[in-house]
A and B are shown apart, each in its own frame.
Chain A
Amino acid sequence: MEELILKLKQEIIEALNLEDVKPEDIDENASLFGEGLGLDSIDALELIVLMEKNYGIKLSDPNQGKEIFKSVAVMADYISKNRTK
């Protein structure tokens, strides 16, 4: 899980163009949206693409994302249980 969390942090930084942010700057238990990284609705949509592209997980309802993208840890947990690649 540690490894997946680190990989996920790197993927998020790349996909969302979080220049000047390093993996160790992201607290895997902290909220991804709102405060913290300051992500917005477009970032949420881009995370949906990341889930499908890198892990073969298709989220058809964007509202599902709200739960899954709570934090990197929650995302990693969901990925480990549902990944198809």
Chain B
Amino acid sequence: MVVKISDNIVSPLGLTSEENYSAVKAGQSRLSRYEGKWNLPEPFVASLIDREKIQVDGHYTFFEQIVIKSASAAIAEAGIDPASPRVIFVLSTTKGNVYLLDNGITDFPDERVLLGVTADVVAKHFGNPNKPVVVSNACISGVCAQIVAMRLLERGAYDYAVVIGADMQSPFIVSGFQSFKALSPEQCKPFDASRRGLNLGEAAATMVLGAKETDGCWKLVRGAIRNDANHISGPSRVGEGSYRALKYVLGDCPADEIAFVNAHGTATMYNDEMESIAVERAGLLDVPVNSLKGYFGHTMGAAGVLESILSMRAIDDNTILPTRGFENLGVTHNVKVSNTIGHTEKKSFIKLLSGFGGCNAALLFRKEEQK
């Protein structure tokens, strides 16, 4: 059995999980419109971390600093020794230090743009002797990293895993999504009839996971990664990969035990439609669905970790969080998208993600009664 021991979120809404959860529950967001930012010709709406709030250390890039800040907090709370050979670091990121490719930026060695090198820098910061694993599986990386860690712990390869999901925004990523016509000119509206695309966001989120001997009441029950085998950027029209992932993680768990499905819900036309199809096919139309993108934007490599942590906090608080930005259902199937704070006594939820490359991931979490 693999359990969550501690967690942390560094985002524009706060520097701890608690601050982030309270802000979300209060309906807050730092999604703002940026004009002329980074000399980009087109304006965009994003949720960006105030660079001044993060302690500056010249040895580390901003990306590495948010990773270290978040991981330090979670490790301290867990009370584990990060330098132990029984601890493995798993980093989830899509673009890491990609901003260093800009010809004008020369503060760091070229190879720091490589994800394995930046992960090594982080692991060395904590004195960890093992080779860190970087999961770079597009927007589902955050759930994949948890699945990777979970399996290592289940097999007894390590006692603890520090799973960190993080991405920072840069002209590289923003212009790319603009060229894809995927960005909303306004705050995103997941599952809404008038949704116009996604907003990008930045965050670092960490979970320390442990094998069964350790205390903790949040259990990672089952995870799955499945491919649509359809198109490298467009989601499956029949929700194939997400459906298959949902079906696998549900196993023999009855749908009425699930408090909610925390969807990817990026607010692009195709993603939300695809998820509604997958949820319907998996027999989950009666289960509430929410998306947290309206609070943080799409935080890419951080999303899977950040959204899992907040969903756990919500159940700790017997709450189903509302989908900020959602008003009128705009997908084919009648999914129960939550738009107000709901109450639940149920103890399980599913985190669902999908990404470029046709990949999809789902993870079932359950809160066990504390003994």
Contacts and interface: CB of A to CB of B under 8 A. Distances in A.
B233 interface: yes
How extensive is the interface on chain B, given as a class? under 10
B362 to A, nearest CB: 25
Among B179, B181, B231, B232, the most chain A Cβ lie within 10 Å of the Cβ of B181
A49 interface: yes
Contacts of B233: 41-42
Given A40-B231, A41-B234, A42-B233, A62 B179 contact: no
Interface string A33-68: 000000011100100110000000000001000000
A4 to B, nearest CB: 25
13 contacts: A40-B231, A40-B234, A41-B231, A41-B233, A41-B234, A42-B232, A42-B233, A45-B179, A45-B180, A45-B181, A48-B181, A49-B179, A62-B181
A30 to B, nearest CB: 23
A41 B235 CA distance: 12
B176 to A, nearest CB: 11
Given A41-B231, A41-B233, A42-B232, 10 more contacts: A40-B231, A40-B234, A41-B234, A42-B233, A45-B179, A45-B180, A45-B181, A48-B181, A49-B179, A62-B181
A62 B231 CA distance: 19
A66 B231 CA distance: 20
Nearest to B232: A42
Interface string B211-236: 00000000000000000000111100
B210 to A, nearest CB: 42
Nearest to A59: B181
Nearest to A46: B179
Q: For chain A, what secondary structure do more than half of its interface residues adopt (helix, strand, loop), or is it mixed?
A: helix
A48 B181 CA distance: 10
Contacts of B232: 42
How extensive is the interface on chain A, given as a class? under 10
Nearest to A44: B181
Contacts of B180: 45
Contacts of B234: 40-41
A48 B231 CA distance: 20
Interface string B228-247: 00011110000000000000
Nearest to B185: A60
A61 to B, nearest CB: 8
A34 to B, nearest CB: 14
Interface string B150-186: 0000000000000000000000000000011100000
A41 B269 CA distance: 14
A62 B181 CA distance: 7
Nearest to A61: B181
B270 to A, nearest CB: 9
A24 B231 CA distance: 29
Contacts of B181: 45, 48, 62
A48 B182 CA distance: 14
A45 B181 CA distance: 8
Contacts of A40: 231, 234
Interface in B176-210: 179-181
A41 B230 CA distance: 13
Contacts of A48: 181
A45 B232 CA distance: 14
A33 B181 CA distance: 19
A80 to B, nearest CB: 25
Nearest to A40: B231
Contacts of B231: 40-41
Contacts of A49: 179
